[in-house]
A and B are shown apart, each in its own frame.
Chain A
Amino acid sequence: MTELEAGRAERLPVRNGAVLQRYRDVLIALIAFAVLASLPMFTGSKALLDFVIRCSAYGLFATSLNLLVGYTGLISFGHGMFFGLGAYGYGLIMQRLGVPIPVAFVATLAITAVVATVIGAICVRLKEIYFAFVTLAFQMLIHSTILSWASFTGGDQGLRGGIPRPVFLGIDLANHVHLYVASCALLILGLLAMRQIAQSPFGYTLRMIRDNAARASFLGIDVWRAKLTVFVLAALFASMGGMVMALFVSGAYPEFAYWTISGEGIFINMLGGVSTFLGPMVGTVLLLLLNDTVTRFTEYHGIVLGVVILFFALGLRKGLLDFVADWFAHRRGAGEGR
């Protein structure tokens, strides 16, 4: 068989592959949800369930950041502002308007979309380091607005007094297990939606822009518009993460909108790796595990985390899941060679 015939032989499977891949992803998501949702039946550990809820909040946030960093090559240092915006938007709507939870949820997403469109329109024109700095500047702007507008946001005290959790459709988020299952559902739905974005024609447009934006524009792609679109989409999922966090702690605090949240997002992506879709999810679990265990043993947990980050950045030169993926690719390559 010549090389050309070998190429032709692969034609059909590739054509169907795109559709099959979608079914596979939905199946994996269903299984993952079933496993997570059944966890309360096997364990009474509130700490474990809490851990998964926090992973949901940070996982949504970190994976959405990877849409920018890994898929589009936009290194945002201010992505955390949308996490904070989600938490505050949801908390304020619930506290002040007393609407049903799904309404507050959708309204918060709508607000995030508007804010992200305005900020994105300014930022995505900028190149590399300028983009990073200006997103960071907007993050600080939102953070200081929250601090200084105390009558509305509670200032440095945050939104206190709890966020009401009225029952809707038989779901009572004041019940810990209900809250847990709802968080898992949001995580899985969010990941599935982001996976779809990453594997859509638009997802490949993002990869083209990351590799060579000038060439993409010579193929007729409106680079600015594509960047703005992904900036807004990523903001929506970050906002979703913030809402899960606000639901979990029943409040919203200025730290949710501080630049360190963006920094943690970058950390998570470095830990887990940006070349695979689930890298940031792995990074999230790693960082939260590290955080929880290290803080138990030493008050200098910052130093320990720093060393771990340096190990991944300088030692492995990639995230954990990148490493695993490369290893598998290498092994498969070696196998074919034989």
Chain B
Amino acid sequence: MLEIRNLAKSFGGVKATNDVSLDFPDGSLTAVIGPNGAGKSTFFNLITGALKPDSGQVLLDGVDLAGRSPPEIVRHGIGRAFQVASIFKSLTVQETMLAAVSADQRSSAVLHKRFPLPETRDRAEHVMELLGLAGKRNRPAATLSHGDQKLLDIALALVLEPKVLLLDEPTAGMGPEERWRMIDKVRELWERERITVVFIEHDMDIVFKIAPKIVVLCYGRILATGTPDEIRSNSAVIEAYLGTEHAGAAT
């Protein structure tokens, strides 16, 4: 279980994350929404070690990871994918996967053997097939479509077999149809791999359809948490963020 306790981070006078406490039970699927500048990405950056929190705790199965380095946090089981696909452009899909498994198995400093190591093969294979990238295994990452690059980014996080997977806008920059395909993939992943998934998403139709639980951030604070129905009818959320359109749909 991932527990966030009183997490806070300020940039100058701006409280980007302000006393945030949240629980993500094992195997849960949670969407994080909020207007631009609400502190969603900062929240992810604090959990994954890209930023050091000013105060607060990030407890994964009781171990406090707040303020530790990204490699340490990854090794404890929190994986992440990025808003802009963060991949290795000159490596092929297969090389990317194999090298990531090597990193996870702590063989990324091995000098005397040839890449790839046989024991990295099965996990790389599993994740490539899970995300439908197996047919494109020999393509350099730079030549993949935007959608496939986002999938590769998720595959990179997933191949480390994380307990918690954080997806920063998996559908960013995609057309309407591609978005649904991507989000179906995310949901399928969650159902098959039984890991805790937290994702940031802007498209409210998507969020209300697939996320069993929603967290609304606003000015670095938690505005509301709850099921889609609870969020839709929450007056504070409607006022700050949703407007009347989605509220109307709920009634």
Interface residues of A (CB under 8 A from B): 2-4, 6-8, 10-11, 14-15, 18-19, 21-22, 196-197, 199-205, 207-208, 210-212, 214-222, 225-226, 229
Contacts and interface: CB of A to CB of B under 8 A. Distances in A.
B99 A7 contact: no
Contacts of A15: 118, 121
Interface in B92-120: 94-95, 98-100, 102-104, 107-118
A207 B88 contact: yes
Contacts of A196: 111-112, 114
Given A202-B110, A220-B74, A215 B87 contact: yes
A29 to B, nearest CB: 15
Given A199-B115, A201-B99, A212 B88 contact: yes
B99 A204 contact: yes
Contacts, number: 126
A4 B134 contact: yes
B107 A201 contact: yes
A332 B163 CA distance: 43
A15 to B, nearest CB: 6
Interface in B112-134: 112-118, 121, 125, 128-129, 134
B137 A10 contact: yes
Contacts of A8: 134
A11 B156 contact: no
A215 B102 contact: no
Interface in B163-221: none
A4 B110 CA distance: 31
A249 B234 CA distance: 84
A222 B74 CA distance: 12
Contacts of B156: 215, 219
A211 B109 contact: no
A220 B103 contact: yes
A205 B106 CA distance: 11
Q: In this complex, which of A7, A19, A201, A202 has the most chain B Cβ atoms within 10 angstroms of its Cβ?
A: A201
B135 A4 contact: yes
Interface string B24-47: 000000000000000000000000
A38 to B, nearest CB: 30
A146 to B, nearest CB: 32
B128 to A, nearest CB: 8
Nearest to A275: B90
Nearest first, the 6 A-B pairs at minimum CB distance are A3-B135, A211-B88, A18-B114, A7-B134, A219-B103, A205-B108
A22 B116 CA distance: 12
Contact of B160 (A18, A212, A214, A219): A219
Given A211-B88, A211-B89, 8 more contacts: A4-B129, A11-B121, A14-B116, A18-B114, A204-B115, A217-B69, A218-B80, A220-B104
Nearest to B102: A201
A71 to B, nearest CB: 11
Nearest to B72: A220
Contact of B88 (A19, A215, A220): A215
B114 A212 contact: no
Q: In this complex, which of A3, A8, A217, A221 has the most chain B Cβ atoms within 10 angstroms of its Cβ?
A: A221
A4 B97 CA distance: 16
B59 interface: no
Contact of A219 (B69, B90, B100, B113): B100
A211 B112 CA distance: 23
B5 interface: no
Interface in B32-75: 48, 50, 69-71, 74-75
B238 interface: no
B10 interface: no
B138 interface: yes
B210 to A, nearest CB: 25
B6 interface: no
A72 to B, nearest CB: 13
A197 B48 contact: no
B244 interface: no
Contacts of A14: 94, 116
